[in-house]
Amino acid sequence: MDRNSVIGFLLIAAILAGYTWYSMPSAEQQARLQRQQDSLANVEIERQAREAEKALKAEKAKSANGTSTATVAPAALPGDSILVVNGDTLNADSVRQALQNQRFGIFHPSSQGKPEEIVIENDRLQIALSTHGGAPEVIRLKDYQTYHKTPLLLADPDSGNYEFRFFLGNLDISTKDLFFTAEKLGTDGVRLKAATTDPAKFLQLTYQLDTVSYFLDVRAELVGMEAEVDARNTVFNWDLVGFSNEKYRDGELQKSGVYYKYFNDDRQYLSESDEDAKTLEGRTNWVAFKQDFFSVGLISNEGFAGNGSEIAITPLTDRTHTKRYSAKLFFEKERGAKVDIPIRIFLGPNHYGTLRRTEIPDFDKIIDLGWGIFGWMNQWLVIPIFNLFDGWGWSYGIIILVLTIAIKLLLMPLTYKNFISSAKMRVLKPEMDAINEKHKDGDMLKKQQATMDLYRKAGVNPASGCVPMLVQMPVLYAMFRFFPASIELRQQSFLWADDLSTYDSIATLPFSIPLGYGTHVSLFTILMAASTMAYTAINSKQMPQQQGMPNMKLMMYLFPVMMLFFMNSLPAGLSYYYLLANVISILQMTAFKSLFVNEEKIRAQLLQNMKTPRKKSKWQQRLEDMQKQQQAARRR
C-alpha cells in the first residue's frame, strides 16, 4: 500500500470518527430517549400481561372442552429473555412481574402498589402527597383565596411533573414510577420509603413543614446503593403550571416569571413576556417560580450544580392558567452508603417582610420595587411608613390616605422651596417682558445674557426650583412600583373598588377602546386624570411664562389624557394614591399663596437686591465667559 492510500484511509477514518462524534446524541437527548424507552417498556409490560391473560383463558377453555393439547405458549420479554408459560402456570401477574423485574431492577418491589393520599399541614399550608410518585400534588395556602373565592392552589394538580431521577446501572429510575410506603411524622411531616429486594437498600423521601413559616423541607436519601447508583447523575425535575388566581389575568402574566441567583452574583430572571430558557452557568443558591402574588422557591444551601441544570418558562394561552415553569436541577454528590439530597421549598406569598425574614440572600428581590434609588425609597421610606399604619387596624383606603399625607408632609419643605422659587421668577415678569421686547428680533445669545444678568442682580437661581422636583421624582416612581407589588392590598375593597390590587370598574363596555384602554371604565383613573389636569392648570398659573416654547402648554394638558389610557388597567390603589397626591398638592399651593407667601414683599426684596451690587459667582462667571466665546465664534 503506497503512501497516498494510507493517507486516504486515515482521512476517511477521521471523517467517519468526526461524523460519529457530531451525530452522537447529547446527554439530555440520551436521557430523553431513555425515558421514552422506559415508557414504551411499561406499555409493553401491560400489553404482554394482557396477552398472557388471554392465553390462560383460552387454555382453560380448551381444558374444559377436553381439547387441550397442553401446548407451551412463549411470551417475549424485552431483551433476550424468554418466559415459557404452560398450563395453569401462565398468568398475567407472572408476566408482569418478570417484565417489571427487568424494567426496575432491584426496585421492582416498589413498581406496583395501590396509591394513597397523605396530607400534611401547619397553620399556613396544606399539602397532599401521593404514595405513587411521592410528589406534592395539592399545595394549598390556607390564608388566601382566589378572586372567585375558591381555595388557592400554587400549582395545577393535573398538570406538570415532579420527580427525582437517577441511574441504577443502565436503568433510568424515576420516583414518579415508584410506590412508597408512608410513615407519618405528626401532622406536619411524612417519610416515604421505596423498597428494593434488599432491606438494607432503599430510597427515602422525607417531607417536613416548618411550624411557623411557609417552608417545606424535602430530603431525598439513597441508602446502601453506592455500588448501584452514581449520585452525580441524580437530578430533580419540577414542571409546574400556575393557576390564574386574580381578577386581571393579563396583569398576572406581566408579573409572573422565573427568578434565580448564583452564589457570586445578583438576582437574575428570565423573560416575563415571552417563552425563555436558561442553562445555569454556575452554582445556584435558589430558583423561584414567581406568580403575581405567590411564589414557589427552590433553595439549596449547598447550591445546585451549574453543569446541566436548566430553567424555563412558557406563557400559556388558556384563561385558566398563567405560565408553565420548569427546573431541572443537578446535585454534585459522590457515591456513598447514604447519599443525602436536601432541598428547601418556599411555598408562600410575595410579601416583602416575609421574604426578607427568610434571610435567603436577595430572595426579597423577586418583588420588583424598582432599581437603584427607587427601590431604596420603597425599602427605607414607603414600606416602613405603610407597615406602621397597617398595624392600626384601619381599612386600606384610609391607610393609603394617611400614607399620602405623611409623605407629603415629609416633602413639604422641598415643595415650599419650589413654590418660593416659582414666585420669584413670576414677580420678575415685568423685567422679563422688557428683555423679550428688546431682543425680540435680535441675537438669542444676548437675550440669554440679559436674562442671566437679571437673575444675578435679583439674587434668583433659576435652577433652584428644579432640585426639589428632582428629589420628589423618586418618590413618585417608587409608588408606581410599590402598589402593584403590595399583596396587602389584594382583595381589599374601598368605596366602589372591590380589589385595590387591580383595576376598579364602574362599567363594562360592549367594545374595546384601543391604545390599551380596554373594555372597562376605571373611575379612580378618571378622577386621577381630572385631578392631574386641574393641578396642571393651577400650577401653570404659578409658573412664569416660557418664551419660545408654544407647545409646552399643550404637552402639559396632553399628559393627563395619556395617563387615562395608561393607568386604566393598573391597580386602583395606585390611581387612588395619585388622586390624593394631586388634591393635597392643590391644597398646598392654595395655602402657600394665601397664607405664607406675599409676592409683593418678594418683589420688593428682589428690586432691593438689584440696586445692591452683587459679586458674580464662579458658576455665573464661567457661564458668561462661555456665552462670550460662543458670540465671538459666531462673528468669525
Q: What is the pLDDT of residues 353-378, one digit of tens each?
A: 999 999 999 999 999 998 888 889 89
Mean pLDDT of 70-94: 45
At what angle are helices 523-542 and 552-566 packed, to 10 degrees?
160
Q: What is the pLDDT of residues 251-260, one digit of tens each?
A: 999 999 999 9
Q: Is residue 67 assigned to a domain?
A: yes
Q: Is residue 10 assigned to a domain?
A: no
Instruction: Calculate ∠ Cα 529-532-535, nearest 5°.
Output: 155
Q: How confident is the model at residue 21 (pLDDT cuts 50, 70, 90)?
A: low
Mean pLDDT of 312-336: 92
Answer yes or no: are the C-beta atoms of 386 and 500 closer than 8 Å.
no
Is 513 or 593 the better-scoring residue by pLDDT?
A: 513
- The answer to whether residue 31 scores a pLDDT higher than 50 is no
Q: What is the mean pLDDT of the chain?
A: 82
Is 25 or 218 the better-scoring residue by pLDDT?
A: 218
- Confidence (pLDDT) at 283: 92
Mean pLDDT of 137-155: 95
- Confidence (pLDDT) at 476: 84
Q: How confident is the model at residue 79 (pLDDT cuts 50, 70, 90)?
A: very low
- The answer to whether residue 85 scores a pLDDT higher than 50 is no
Express the helix, strand and coil content of the chain in percent, nearest 5 each: 45, 25, 30
- The answer to whether residue 505 scores a pLDDT higher than 60 is yes
- Confidence (pLDDT) at 159: 86
Comparing CA positions, the residue from 196, 246, 218, 420 lying closest to residue 329 is 218
- 340 and 277 part of one domain: yes
- 517 and 534 part of one domain: yes
- 119 and 99 part of one domain: no
- Confidence (pLDDT) at 52: 53
Is 30 or 314 the better-scoring residue by pLDDT?
A: 314
Secondary structure letter of residue 609 according to DSSP: H
- 420 and 498 part of one domain: yes
Interatomic CA distance for residues 327 and 314, integer angstroms: 12
- 186 and 322 part of one domain: yes
The answer to whether the predicted template modeling score (pTM) of the entire model surpasses 0.85 is no
- The answer to whether residue 477 scores a pLDDT higher than 60 is yes
Answer yes or no: are the C-beta atoms of 133 and 177 closer than 8 Å.
yes
- Confidence (pLDDT) at 343: 95
Q: Is residue 617 assigned to a domain?
A: no
Q: Is residue 243 assigned to a domain?
A: yes
- 279 and 409 part of one domain: no
Interatomic CA distance for residues 51 and 65, integer angstroms: 21
Q: How confident is the model at residue 68 (pLDDT cuts 50, 70, 90)?
A: very low
- Confidence (pLDDT) at 260: 96
- The answer to whether residue 249 scores a pLDDT higher than 60 is yes
Q: What is the pLDDT of residues 87-137, one digit of tens each?
A: 444 455 666 666 667 788 899 899 889 999 999 999 999 999 999 999 999
- 431 and 576 part of one domain: yes
Interatomic CA distance for residues 392 and 291, integer angstroms: 29
Is 60 or 378 the better-scoring residue by pLDDT?
A: 378
Q: Is residue 6 assigned to a domain?
A: no
CB atoms within 10 A of CB 25: 10
- 588 and 602 part of one domain: yes
Domain boundary among 350, 367, 384: 367
Is 401 or 475 the better-scoring residue by pLDDT?
A: 401
- 92 and 165 part of one domain: no
Mean pLDDT of 139-152: 95
- Confidence (pLDDT) at 580: 95
Interatomic CA distance for residues 223 and 200, integer angstroms: 7
Q: Is residue 17 assigned to a domain?
A: no
The count of structural domains within the chain is 3
Q: How confident is the model at residue 18 (pLDDT cuts 50, 70, 90)?
A: low
Is 212 or 279 the better-scoring residue by pLDDT?
A: 279
Comparing CA positions, the residue from 576, 587, 529 lying closest to residue 557 is 529
Is 432 or 66 the better-scoring residue by pLDDT?
A: 432
Is 433 or 409 the better-scoring residue by pLDDT?
A: 409
Q: What percent of the chain stands above pLDDT 90?
A: 48
Domain boundary among 74, 109, 144: 109
- The answer to whether residue 540 scores a pLDDT higher than 50 is yes
Q: Is residue 180 assigned to a domain?
A: yes
Is 59 or 7 the better-scoring residue by pLDDT?
A: 7
What SS3 state is found at 147?
A: coil
Comparing CA positions, the residue from 399, 581, 407, 408 lying closest to residue 500 is 399
Q: What is the pLDDT of residues 525-537, one digit of tens each?
A: 999 999 998 988 8
Q: What is the pLDDT of residues 564-590, one digit of tens each?
A: 898 999 999 999 999 999 999 999 888
Mean pLDDT of 432-439: 77
Q: How confident is the model at residue 550 (pLDDT cuts 50, 70, 90)?
A: low
- 183 and 94 part of one domain: no
- Looking at residue 240, which CATH number applies to its domain? 2.70.98.90
Q: How many CA atoms lie within 13 A of 494 on its CB side?
A: 24
- 291 and 172 part of one domain: yes
- Confidence (pLDDT) at 590: 87
Domain, as residue range, for 272: 113-367
Interatomic CA distance for residues 115 and 135, integer angstroms: 12
* Structural element, H or E, at residue 205: strand 202-209
Domain boundary among 60, 86, 109: 109
- Confidence (pLDDT) at 76: 42
- 362 and 421 part of one domain: no
Q: What is the pLDDT of residues 329-349, one digit of tens each?
A: 998 888 888 999 999 999 999
Q: Is residue 152 assigned to a domain?
A: yes
